[in-house]
Structure 1
Amino acid sequence: MDLALPKRIIKETQRLMQEPVPGISAVPDEQNARYFHVIVSGPEGSPFEGGVFRLELFLPEEYPMSAPKVRFVTKIYHPNIDKLGRICLDILKDKWSPALQIRTVLLSIQALLSAPNPDDPLNNEVADQWKMQEAEAIKTAREWTKRYASETQQQILNQSSLPTSTTQQTSSTTNN
């Protein structure tokens, strides 16, 4: 663990490793402890059930005064996640508070998979289908989950030594 990291990040990371959130794995990158390789299992009963989704989470220098930057790497059909993997979640924007933690963000993303909100979309096309033809949208979400999120957690972990540059470049973009 990098000694230059604030104590808060070190403590949050240790807690994530010692008390993992069910269905979520968040592992800090070996070369940058502000960058996490995240795996979220699709929640039971959701169109994403059975899927294993890869995300990137980056803690900016201003953390915890500003929210983590998070995006889906795995392609997903969801009204609150756009084609670039950006996530529309209030706690990643105006509802962020320094009292929140990485763990809270990950649980909120998992909850968003359980309950997509087409009334606050980031992907209008998907949201429109979700509102007008929900059964068809759910079917498409299941198909995409099968097609793009069918890697096993072990396969993803084996790839987790990916370079961190993509998130560091996108960390200047805002989460919507």
Structure 2
Amino acid sequence: MEIITTEFPGLLLVKPKIFGDARGYFYESWNKERYDAAGITENFVQDNVSFSSKGVLRGLHYQKPYTQGKLVSVLLGEVWDVVVDLRRSSPTFGKWQGFTLTGERKEQLYVPRGFAHGFCVLSETALFQYKCTDKYSPESEHGIMWNDETLNIPWPVQQPVISEKDTKHPRFKELSSELLFD
């Protein structure tokens, strides 16, 4: 596998080695020893899968105090995946970065604790997988408005399909210090 560092400290793009032939393909999606050697030493405790249609936008979500690091990937389809750095001590605090992840290329994005995360579906459908370092905690769930003017994320969908819950998140500038990370 190949590990690609990003301008955001701790945020890594993982490109697995894919073995393919006329029968199909095989790749290793998780191997603790190899990921530890690559610097992803988290203990993942929960796996989630979401299925979405074209134009669906999920996010921007995060948990605090029960924070989650995530290793995300697309099993089928294509998404534009976005992270926002909420770590006040980070040189990239308040900045976002986007990645196109596809089921064909099998990339994984390691999103450390302290980031908000979201994605929108570019293909007809997408099957999205999350490996999480802590369990889902409804009382710890928070978010940022997907179309926040300060972040100015250029989502590549004209009229995204959004859950009612995701229309009620605060703007980035409205986040109290308790909802940010040190």
TM-score after normalising by structure 2: 0.28
Which of the pair is proportionally richer in helix? 1
Identify, as 1 or 2, the structure richer in strand.
2
